[in-house]
Amino acid sequence: MRLRDRRSFAKPEVMIIPMIDIMFFLLVFFMLSTLYMVDLKTVAVNMPKAQNAEMQTNVNYLVTMKKDGSLWLEDQQIDEKTLIAQAKAENKKNPKFAVVLRADQDIDYGKVIVFLDQLKGAGLTRFGLAAESGRS
């Protein structure tokens, strides 16, 4: 006794478009979540705000200059001569070596210029100034 005709059974299908949507959603989720997982070892400093500041995570040397003029390489305090000597040695090894300076907004502008001039005198040509994003 046959209850149904064999032709009435539908062939099973795999719905591929919803799977692709879910994969794109997961890809975007993980890409955005990893942006906030970047651990920058730095010292807290009151940086100036800039409307068009961009976040960059591929920095070789992240130098912080506090209000009192002290220098910090990532989260370790370092004197100026040692820092410049290390940066000079790294610059010889890597031609794309860059130093990013995070200076307190209340620091004397002359101290920042003197430090950047010493970096340039040591042969470094790639350096930048960090700022906080001023976007709301």
Q: In this structure, which amino acid lies at residue 106?
A: D
pLDDT per residue as tens digits for the range 89-117: 998 998 888 888 888 888 888 899 999 99
pLDDT at 23: 94
Judge: domain 49-133, CATH 3.30.420.270.
Answer: yes
- Which segments within 17-122 are labelled E, that is strand? 49-50, 61-65, 71-73, 76-78, 99-103
pLDDT band of 25, cuts 50, 70, 90: very high
pLDDT at 97: 87
CB 65 within 8 A of CB 115: yes
pLDDT at 121: 92
The burial class, CB within 10 Å (0-12 / 13-18 / 19+), for 36 is exposed
Query: Where along the chain do its domains lie?
Result: 6-35, 49-133
